[in-house]
Structure 1
Amino acid sequence: MPKHPWWRSTTSSDRGCMRAKPWCSLLLPTLIAALTLTAAAAADATIAEVEQSFLTYPYGDPSPLAQFGRIYPYTRSDGGSAVGAMRSWKLVRLENDWLVVWVAPGIGGKIWGARDKVSGRDFIYHNPVVKFRDVGLRGPWTAGGIEFNFGIIGHAPSCAAPVDYALARDPDGGVRCTVGALDLPSRTRWRVEIRLPRDQAAITTAASWENPTPYHQSCYQWMTAAAEAADDLTMLHPGDHYLEHGGIAHPWPVDAEGRDLSAYRANAFGPDKSY
């Protein structure tokens, strides 16, 4: 009986290959699966610097004098323009088969946005405009993304300023963008490593903060993430209380009036809120 190659088509007269048919049926799916896994293994995450244009509302010129007090030796800018103009901003784009993440080193190093490629939806709010408003300790601040704050209590002096950054590719196929800066009032150095693995629909961050001075200092670090709000939005936070800015505790998620504050639509009362 002649030996036939396993890929040869079978016919009713080709009895040799007919006997090999069960073996062929098992081998083909195995080979296809192996090829699929090989292709997936080759799909490393990518990282690149890109230019993106945004309608930008600039802030006023900074004071020529340093601001004495908590933010010394920084200056401060008051006011923002009500008229926007298109401006190109440098972003760092991290991408794998599932996610695209943008980092803005020129605006505090914040994660500007993140998108699920499968659904096409942003799960971290990607603000379509850069609109600076007087919210930060030095004045300018922008909404959206994930903001990094180190040092003084409040939106840190670096939250809308250019920061240092570095790009890296890992041996396992993941990519990293590390952002950081020197905080002048405390003379401390902070950095955040933003990593996108090759084979996960997840972003990880690793923050480090160094005090190179000989002095003990109080530390305050926080991150705030933005998601697009809609009436069906539900905010899931552990714990049974929340704190106001002034440090006063209130019940969570059901307040003293019986309102379930975890439902976004239930918050349509009173002034702006911070939970």
Structure 2
Amino acid sequence: MATTTIRRAVLSLPAAPLGPENPLPALRPPGDVHRIDPEEATGLPADMARQIGNAPLRTVQPVRRRDDYSRKRVQTDLDAIVIENDRLKVTVLPGLGGRVHSIEHKPTGRSLLYTNPVFQPAGFALNGAWFSGGIEWNIGATGHATLSVAPLHAARVPAPDGGEMLRLWEWERLRDLPFQVDLWLPDGSDFLYVGVRIRNPHHEPAPVYWWSNTAVPETPHTRVLVPADSAWYFGYEHTLRRVPVPVRDGADRSYPLSGEEPADHFYEVPDGERRWIAALDEHGHGLVQTSTDLLRGRKLFTWGTGARGRRWQEWLTEPGTGGYAEIQAGLARTQLEHVLLDGGGEFAWLEAYGPLAADPSVVHGADWAAARGEVAGRLEAALPRAAVDAAYAAWRPFADHEPKELLAVGSGWGALEVERGGFELPGTPFGAATLGEQQAPWRALLHTGAFPDEGPEPGPSLVSPHWREVLEAAEPGAHGAYHLGVAQWHAGDRSQAVRSWERAGRLGLGWAALRCLAAADAASGHPERAAERYAQAVAGAREAGASRAARVALAREAVGALLEAGRAEDAAAVLAALPAAVRQRGRFRLLHARVQGEPFDEGIEVEDLAEGEDLAP
């Protein structure tokens, strides 16, 4: 029997560059295609309705947007980590959210996941850039995580069976919570084990969102099976209604290609039933995911057969690549919900991913109870429920083990939070060595009581109640006033935010404060004043020597505001001042068409097009 190994590797594939972060704080609420009308919630179960109302996001602060990527792919080497035994080979991308890129079943040579042959960002994450394929870890709030293309910390740690695990961890900044994902392959196992832990080191409860999203190959014969007779169906009409499984509106929806429109089915797995979901092909072969009971929800996402879904599938990869569906598992019944985690508490569970082979005549038969019973029986034979529970119990003491060897480095934000709060988080060290340039002014604020006024461009803001209190007590300064305004805006205190930005402007932080004031004007229904302030901010950023990324992002906002105020000539001047390469991007070609009053060119590719975005003039 081969020994399980964990090693660094390089994955080479065509990849589009991500570009720099957007330096302008995202002050608008995130676009949300997963919302329901308030009156719809009155007919839902009480616990579901309550959890749907838990702390919706006002902004994606303190996270910066990622919207400067392209669609020009070049062969690129990506850092990878491979976990391998004699049965499975698992490739993980620590620099891209810890995504499990692929799982190969070595005895059969089958790939258990939909593995995207390219890296192509698209505007699906809460903060912009996201890519399809593999298994992604979604934490934070409804939608794809802000960590989708961000680096995570990674290290070797001892595994419960005496071998080694790969630990991934980071500080999730939307909810201000640390989390970890431990992956290991026991010798001889056909299943990848994944232990997940989310901790709340604060005194107050925190809303928690988690869904493990697995992309699986989609063919006309792919069937998704789950131990449920009903589901909560959500479509783009923004309603959530209970429907029977598998047949809805005359079609068998357990086949991902049975519907025309994109859709979510959140399955109602009865209490006491084993939690699992499987996607099997015409031969009864495929992937099964199961877990301990805390991971309650199971979901099928399908793109549908319509033009919109097919176009998105093509947009996310390259021509000739097959489509995919997603089978998912989460803490709540639906992705519209957030579960409260008490202060000082934690959520922890174990997942398992592996191959499954079942009788295809039963799997694809008309008897739904028999089909799911066949899968449940095969799963129990391959990986008994009791074995998953035992593996979870064995893993729990190892969740606190300190890393043996660091394999990848994430951000320094966790280290800053640990320094501020004095938190003790065994197993997930956020060491001072990870602190960098972005954290430096915040450390200075923490230790001196003053935020440094350095440079023409503010760095990233922090918006948690803890940091807001520190900013409120700080000595007066332009950058401190600016960041206080961002924190106040995020908290919903818009009038105080405006006053802080006005103070930042008086203290010398002109263009950055003007941009925030312009965004506030636009949000409060003053388009003429917003346009004037945007025009002043554009000129000020150029004079102050703001970064190229800031000037490009500012120009994009300013052109839209100037057009809304009827100032097409000024909007044209803003576009003309941009570098030629920037003007050739799809987003700016689209803005140019709007400025000129021209019809949209169907050949324009808007790289950062977001799900549900309306491009109408």
| TM-score normalized with structure 2 length | 0.36
1:60-85 deviations in Å (ceiling 9; x for gaps)? 43221222343211111225422111
Q: Distance in 1 between matches of 2:224 and 2:77?
A: 34
Is the partner of 1:124 in helix, strand or coil? coil
Aligned to 1:254: 246
Indicate the larger mover: 249-258 or 156-165: 249-258
Is the partner of 1:88 in helix, strand or coil? strand
Q: Residue 65 of structure 1 is aligned with which of 21, 24, 33?
A: 24
Quote the offset at 1:168 in angstroms.
3.2
Aligned to 2:109: 120
Q: Residue 8 of structure 2 is aligned with which of 49, 54, 67?
A: 49
User: Structure 1 residue 237 and structure 2 residue 196: aligned?
Assistant: no
Quote the offset at 1:101 in angstroms.
0.4
1:10-159 alignment runs, 5 A limit: 40=1, 43-68=2-27, 69-78=58-67, 80-159=69-148
Is the partner of 1:226 in helix, strand or coil? strand
Quote the offset at 1:169 in angstroms.
5.1
Is the partner of 2:224 in helix, strand or coil? coil
Q: Distance in 2 between matches of 1:264 and 1:171?
A: 37
Q: Distance in 1 between matches of 2:142 and 2:78?
A: 28
Q: Which amino acid aligns with 2:232?
A: Y
Q: Distance in 2 between matches of 1:217 and 1:114?
A: 33
Q: Which runs of 5+ in 1 are unaligned?
A: 1-39
C-alpha RMSD of the superposition: 1.9
Q: Distance in 1 between matches of 2:60 and 2:258?
A: 37
Q: Distance in 2 between matches of 1:261 and 1:93?
A: 35
Quote the offset at 1:173 in angstroms.
5.4
1:252–1:94 Cα change, 3 Å? farther
1:200-228 deviations in Å (ceiling 9; x for gaps)? 11011111001112221111111100111
Structure in which a larger fraction of residues adopt strand? 1
Structure in which a larger fraction of residues adopt helix? 2
1:261–1:171 Cα change, 3 Å? closer
Q: Distance in 2 between matches of 1:256 and 1:130?
A: 35
Quote the offset at 1:125 in angstroms.
2.1
Q: Distance in 1 between matches of 2:113 and 2:158?
A: 23
Rg larger in structure: 1
CA contact (8 A) 1:94 1:175 kept: no
Q: Distance in 1 between matches of 2:70 and 2:160?
A: 45
Q: Distance in 2 between matches of 1:174 and 1:126?
A: 27
Q: Distance in 2 between matches of 1:156 and 1:73?
A: 13
Q: Distance in 2 between matches of 1:171 and 1:253?
A: 38
Indicate the larger mover: 67-76 or 171-180: 171-180
Q: Residue 273 of structure 1 is aligned with which of 250, 263, 269?
A: 263
Q: Distance in 1 between matches of 2:233 and 2:169?
A: 28
Quote the offset at 1:148 in angstroms.
0.4
Q: Which amino acid aligns with 1:231?
A: P
Q: Distance in 1 between matches of 2:97 and 2:88?
A: 22
Quote the offset at 1:121 in angstroms.
1.1
CA contact (8 A) 1:180 1:190 kept: yes
Q: Residue 183 of structure 1 is aligned with which of 172, 176, 193?
A: 172
Q: Which runs of 5+ in 2 are unaligned?
A: 28-57, 266-617
Aligned to 2:554: none
Q: Give the aligned length.
A: 232
Aligned to 2:192: 203
1:1-29 deviations in Å (ceiling 9; x for gaps)? xxxxxxxxxxxxxxxxxxxxxxxxxxxxx
Aligned to 1:226: 215
Q: Distance in 1 between matches of 2:66 and 2:164?
A: 35
Quote the offset at 1:274 in angstroms.
2.6
Q: Which amino acid aligns with 2:204?
A: Y
CA contact (8 A) 2:126 2:145 kept: yes
Indicate the larger mover: 243-252 or 194-203: 243-252
1:119-146 deviations in Å (ceiling 9; x for gaps)? 1111022221111111001101111111
Q: Which amino acid aligns with 2:149?
A: A
| TM-score normalized with structure 1 length | 0.78
- Identical aligned residues as a percent: 26
CA contact (8 A) 2:233 2:243 kept: no
1:247–1:96 Cα change, 3 Å? farther
1:263–1:80 Cα change, 3 Å? same
1:162–1:182 Cα change, 3 Å? same
